[in-house]
Amino acid sequence: MSSTFDLDAALALKNLRLLRPMLQWRTELEQFCQFLVDRKVQSFLEIGVGSGQLSIVIRDVLNIGNVYACDVNWPPLLREREDIPFFHGDHHSASYLSWREALGPVDMVFIDADHECGFRLDYAIELSFPHKYIAFHDVSNIAYPALHEFWMKEVEGNKITLINTDTNIRFGVPELTYPFLQLQSADELERWFGRSCGIGICWDTRRIAQRNVEI
């Protein structure tokens, strides 16, 4: 996979700006964007959206025409975007399953939801629907050892993990300013979460869907 994607240059080319910081390591996000470009991804579903800025970047900067989002909170940024269909509710619910079925095939499903215990059911649900790729955020984040273990030992098929190795950058796109939430500094953030979130991407998973947790 090439690694030439430059988010700042892509934003400038389209005369766009970020409205909210994205809680990502820049190197991981840019590798992820490059993966989407290289694999010609045409549809994208984000489960657990935070501010909604990532879904907007995927739609506006990468020109992915079919972008969908889901969260128990409907962020203001996405309330303004009629071109990004939004499921407002629990993505483990029966109503979500109906909504997801209606979407049909989705090239990339990006899961950034329950990092403590819900990820196993997230995986099982999305395996049951047509997709090309399933991605998990925070698979190398030191704050979430259970998610890391799940990614390493239970997720099957082909997979790669995008990990930050740049020692010269700080967290956030753009880099966060502090205090941020309960954190007082970048050093404190890194003590809790490390210097990588990790984006894990898997594919060729349809053949194993029936062996996973029942929905």
Topology of 7-211 in CATH?
Rossmann fold (3.40.50)
Q: How confident is the model over 32-52, as a mean pLDDT?
A: 98
**pTM for the whole structure:** 0.93
Tokens found for residue 11: 């934003």
> Taking 50 as the threshold, does the pLDDT of residue 136 lie above it?
yes
Tokens found for residue 7: 């988010």
> Taking 70 as the threshold, does the pLDDT of residue 215 lie above it?
no
Q: How confident is the model over 121-149, as a mean pLDDT?
A: 97
Percent over 70 (pLDDT), the chain:
93
> Taking 60 as the threshold, does the pLDDT of residue 99 lie above it?
yes
Do 107 and 41 form a contact (C-beta atoms < 8 A)?
yes
Place of tokens 């809680």: 23
User: Residue 210's pLDDT band (boundaries 50, 70, 90)?
Assistant: very low
Torsion of Cα atoms, 214 then 125 then 32 then 84, to 10°: -170
Do 44 and 55 form a contact (C-beta atoms < 8 A)?
yes
User: Residue 4's pLDDT band (boundaries 50, 70, 90)?
Assistant: confident
Alpha carbon distance 200, 162 (integer Å)? 6
Residue 211 confidence (pLDDT):
45
Alpha carbon distance 53, 33 (integer Å)? 14
The answer for residues whose C-beta is within 8 angstroms of residue 124's C-beta and 6 or more apart is: 209, 212, 213, 214, 215
Alpha carbon distance 149, 115 (integer Å)? 12
Q: What is the pLDDT of residues 176-207, one digit of tens each?
A: 999 999 999 999 999 999 999 999 999 986 55
Q: Which of 149, 145, 151 is nearest to 199 (CA)?
A: 151
- 3-state helix/strand/coil string of 91-159: CCCHHHHHHHHHHCCEEEEEECCCCCCCHHHHHHHHHCCCEEEEEEECCCCCCCHHHHHHHHHCCCCEE
> Taking 80 as the threshold, does the pLDDT of residue 115 lie above it?
yes
Residue type, 204: D
> Taking 60 as the threshold, does the pLDDT of residue 66 lie above it?
yes
User: Residue 213's pLDDT band (boundaries 50, 70, 90)?
Assistant: very low
User: Residue 3's pLDDT band (boundaries 50, 70, 90)?
Assistant: low
Q: Which of 201, 67, 30 is nearest to 132 (CA)?
A: 201
Residue 2 confidence (pLDDT):
54
Residue 205 confidence (pLDDT):
66
Q: How confident is the model over 36-62, as a mean pLDDT?
A: 98
Q: How confident is the model over 97-117, as a mean pLDDT?
A: 96
| Domain positions in the chain | 7-211
Work out the mean pLDDT of the chain and round it to a whole number.
94
User: Residue 32's pLDDT band (boundaries 50, 70, 90)?
Assistant: very high
- Quote the distance between the C-alpha of residue 176 and its chain's center: 19
